Each structure stands twice: as C-alpha cells, then as structure tokens.
Amino acid sequence: MADIPPQSPPPGAAADWTVPQNWGHYTPEEHATWDRLFARQAKLLPGRASDAWLRGLDVLRLSRPGIPDFEELSERLMKLTGWQVVAVPGLVPDDVFFDHMANRRFVAGNFIRRPDQLDYLQEPDVFHDVFGHVPMLADPVFADYLVAYGKGGQRALGLHSLRYLARLYWYTVEFGLIAEPEGLRIYGAGIVSSYAESRFALDDPSPNRIAFDLARVMRTEYRIDDFQQNYFVIPSFDDLLRVTVETDFAPLYEAIKHRPDIPVAELLPEDEVLTRGTQAYALAKADH
Ligand code: HBI
Ligand code: FE
C-alpha cells in the first residue's frame, strides 16, 4: 500500500498486471517458510480470528502444507462465492486493483518473504494475501462487500477521493475487528497475518477500539509502519455491506473534504468508545 507502483506492467506481466503463479517453481525452502508462518498463526487464531475467517480457512483447506496453488484455490472459491485468486508481481496501480476486485478477482503476490522477514515486510506477499485475505473471500457477505468496495474504488478515483475510501479499506479489510457474541474478534488481513499484531489488536491496553462509523473512519489517518493506535469494530458483516452499498459516497466525500483529518490516536466526543486506549505503546516508542 505504501509505494506507488510503476504505471505499466513489468516484463512478463499481462496488460492487467497478472502473472502466472508458477506454483511448480517454489523451492522447498519457500514452502517451508509458508509452513512456519502458518503453524505460528494457526496456533494463535482460534478464539481471536472471526468465525468467518476460521470457517474460510477450513472450507478452503488452507491448512494443507505448502504455498497454496491459486488454480485449485480459485476452483473452491468460485463454487462458494464466485471469486478467483490471480497472481501479481507486487503492488498494482489503483485502477487495476479495483477493476480486478469489482470483477471478483483477488490479486495476490506470488512471492513469499525471506526467512529473515518472518515478522514484517511492507510489500504484500503470498502469505499476507492468501492466509490473511483469502479466507474472508469464502464468506458470501464479505465477498459482496469487496465487490462493492472495488466498484466504489473506481468511482472514488473519478471523484479524486481515493484518500478517503482507502481509509475504509485500511480500517476494515486490513485492520478490522468485529464484535461477536463471545467478544471482539479479528477479521482484518493485516492483523491475522501478523504474529505480534494478532495479540496486540485484541489484548493490548494501548490502542483505542471504537465502534465503526463510516464518515469517522474515512476522516481518520493511519500508520502503515507500526501497530495501529485505533481499531474500528463492526457489529456484523451484514452491517458493513449494508452501509457501504446504501451510502451515497459522492456527497459524503464532499462533506469530509471540508473537515479536518483525525490524527491516529484522537478520540472525538461522538465516538462510541469500546476501549479507551492508554497509548502506552506509542508513547514508549516516541521516547526512543
Ligand atoms: N496492489 N497488489 C496490491 N495489493 C493491494 O492491496 C493494493 C494494490 N494496489 C493498490 C491498493 N492496494 C490500494 O489502492 C487499496 O488498498 C486502496
Ligand atoms: Fe492486504
């Protein structure tokens, strides 16, 4: 999400930026990296990840060893929600990203991080994209939400308002929490694919956890290089989908443009705060 990718596809990529996954070319070491990451997260996520994410992992048979084959994965997904997974070499331009999404194609990096990058890397690799995002694509409501997002992204580009809509992606698809009957659960791919943040997001007293409000989220800045200081909590995927399809975004963007951005750790009087964060983590970092 951070860097602006080049605007024409790199050598070997098609006009829509897709490349063959070349599943047969992964080395045993690369498959072993997937298995290590998988084992570490799989232990942590029951009781932390949302029911929808856990079900997706199961129905897509993602627990089998090795980096998943996108063709096989797409076959299962297609039957469940009509989605496919297509390989890309890295970040793709926004218009390309939204065109794939609006047409139920999820773009996934075909490369995997090096063994010395298990805990963090900025580019979305196959572990983040497939382990993090793809389980949610097996959920029919979330699958429709992403289609709505892709179409919304295309409109936002035309309205020069992507900076607002990108925050919705960030605080839902990447870093979203959901209130389930047993308590808060993670559904954001940036959290479920991170060993440290999958604990921090739920257990740490530092961040704010705030009830989701569309306009509020779209005004809120975010950090791309560290744990979040705000998490937004949705009541259900039905609610998230409903607000996204029923909102007329053009006047909302117009209204937001005239209001200040909200800094990462700030709370507003109208926020429904579920957990008021101590910000201890961010403050300790600022001291160094
Ligand atoms: N490309 N491969 C890839 N993955 C992303 O998540 C991605 C992207 N290009 C653009 C983009 N995300 C953003 O525009 C959205 O997150 C809003
Ligand atoms: Fe992602």
pLDDT tens-digit map of 244-253: 999 999 999 9
Is the pLDDT at 122 greater than 90? The verdict is no
pLDDT for 120 equals 81
CB 148 within 8 A of CB 168: no
Look over the chain and give the mean of its residue pLDDT values, rounded to a whole number.
96
- Give the ligand at the shortest distance from the Cα of 1: 1
% of the chain at pLDDT higher than 90: 93
B/e letters for 37-67, b = 16+ CB within 10 Å, e = fewer, are bbeebeeebeebbbebbbebbeebebeeeeb
Cα-to-centroid distance, 136 and ligand 2 (Å): 12
pLDDT tens-digit map of 60-117: 999 999 999 999 999 999 999 999 999 999 999 999 999 999 999 999 999 999 999 9
pLDDT tens-digit map of 36-61: 999 999 999 999 999 999 999 999 99
E strand intervals along the chain: 84-88, 105-109, 177-180, 183-186, 208-211, 230-234, 273-275
Calculate the dihedral angle through the C-alpha atoms of 198, 192, 141, 237, rounding to the nearest 10 degrees. Answer: 10
pLDDT tens-digit map of 67-81: 999 999 999 999 999
Cα-to-centroid distance, 97 and ligand 1 (Å): 6
Is the pLDDT at 1 greater than 60? The verdict is no
Mutation pick for ligand 1 pocket among 85, 94, 100, 172 (CB with most ligand atoms within 8 Å): 94
Is the pLDDT at 5 greater than 70? The verdict is no
169 lines ligand 1 (CB under 6 A): yes
Is the pLDDT at 4 greater than 80? The verdict is no
* Domains contained in the chain, CATH given: 23-287 (1.10.800.10)
Nearest partner of 171 among 224, 115, 128, 247, judged by Cα: 224
pLDDT tens-digit map of 187-234: 999 999 999 999 999 999 999 999 999 999 999 999 998 999 999 999
